[in-house]
Amino acid sequence: MEDRSLTIQSPLLKLKSWKWWCLVALNIFFLIIGQAAAVILGRVYYDHGGNSKWMATLVQTVAFPILFVPCLFLSSSEESTTNSSTQLIYLVLIYVGLGVLIAGDNMLYSIGLLYLSASTYSLICATQLAFNAVFSYFINSQKFTMLIFNSVVVLTLSAALLAIDDDSGIALGVSRSKYFLGFITTIGASALYSLLLSLMQLSFQKFLKKETFSVVLYMQIYTSLVATLVSLVGLFASGDWKGIKNEMDSFTSGRTSYVMVLVWISISWQVCSVGVVGLIFVVSSLFSNVISTLSLALTPVAAVVVLHDKMNGVKAIVLLLAFWGFTTYIYQNYIDEQKIRKESTEEDYEACSSNHVN
């Protein structure tokens, strides 16, 4: 890959190997658990009487203040640069633009989860890895190798299989036409999510010029703030807020459960966000997306256990295809990382040899 600005950060190279792997493992845990819990609880919200797409959209970002907690543990050694007025204008435009896109992406995800079972929804979302490869090629100058091409083809075929599957992915009481609407919006949401990652990477490269943990974290916080404000405007402008009381009263497991489901959905998405930004900082944005895709491939298994979703032959094949696509993609990432480490070692050796001769 030509651009490697999002590879392992130099301060982390000073960490011992086991400490680095502990950080990676912790963030993977946050991402997988947070995303799986959010998807399953989102389906619970709809199954028990929830019907507001704007509410389902709002809860995906409204708990963003939780992200200020990691800020308390930031090292004081991280540089604090003073931005010029021009840079601040660019930052505001970036945060607003990405925040609006995130709100739209969350809405598409909400519609998809409304009309699809949790397992089918997650398997379709796994196509984001294929979209990521395409957008990274055009926007971030990432090489399109045979392994990545294989991943794109496999994940595209898995989505096509789910599209022609008769009824295993249709949520209870949903018509065939609404199923296809859910399918299309989820595909669109996956594509938009991958585009957002590439645009964030481009923002780091062209405007922010660095990627410390604080920069990545504040990017997540401010874009979530904008997305939350957009969702609130949509909630009130659409009139959905008028039905919240009735929705709460008619929730099959009670008003308290209604509130708790929404609260835990919000918290789960932010736990997932901590894992996402943590992996971007510790490893790379590419690796973060790969682990997110792995989580989406694991979520159907959890949905079968918790929500008793059907796991027929088509879904089993799609699950295997998703794992295969994931494996080939991450193997390509492994090859790239090994190449970079080798080149870095050779450069250090040449530098030491030069100094020794001098």
pLDDT-based confidence at 292, cuts 50/70/90? confident
141, containing H or E segment: none
Q: Is the pLDDT of residue 317 over 70?
A: yes
Q: How many residues does the chain have?
A: 358
pTM of the entire predicted model: 0.80
More confident residue, 41 or 155: 41
Lowest pLDDT segment from 58-67, 104-113, 157-166, 307-316: 157-166
Q: Minimum mean pLDDT among 76-85, 130-139, 151-160: which range?
A: 76-85
Spatial CB neighbours of 325, under 8 Å, sequence gap ≥ 6: 126, 129, 130, 150, 151, 152, 154, 155, 158, 293
Smallest Cα–Cα separation from 213: which of 18, 61, 8?
8
Q: For residue 15, count other CB atoms closer than 10 A to its CB.
A: 14
**What pLDDT digit, counting tens, does each position of 269-288 carry?**
998 988 887 777 777 666 77
Confidence of residue 354 (pLDDT cuts 50, 70, 90): low
d(CA 323, CA 318): 9
Question: What percent of the chain shows pLDDT beyond 70?
Answer: 80
What per-residue confidence (pLDDT) applies to 8?
Answer: 37
- The 10s digit of each residue's pLDDT in 238-266 is 998 999 999 999 998 889 999 999 999 99
Measured between alpha carbons, how far is 235 from 357 in angstroms, rounded to an integer? 69
Q: According to the model, what pLDDT value does residue 34 have?
A: 92
d(Cα 169, Cα 310) in Å, to the nearest integer? 8
Mean per-residue pLDDT over the chain, rounded: 79
pLDDT for position 324:
85
Percent of the chain with pLDDT over 90: 27
In angstroms, rounded to a whole number, what is the distance separating the alpha carbons of residues 323 and 190?
Answer: 17
Residues ≥6 apart with Cβ < 8 Å to 53: 107, 110, 111, 114, 240
Q: How many helices, marked H, and strands, marked E, lie in the chain?
A: 13, 0
pLDDT digits (tens, 9 = 90+) for 333-345: 778 767 776 776 7
Query: Which residue would you say has higher pLDDT here, 246 or 127?
Result: 246
Least confident of 53-57, 184-188, 234-238, 312-316: 312-316
The Cα 280–Cα 258 span in angstroms is 33
Q: Is residue 40 within 8 Å of residue 274, measured between CB atoms?
A: no
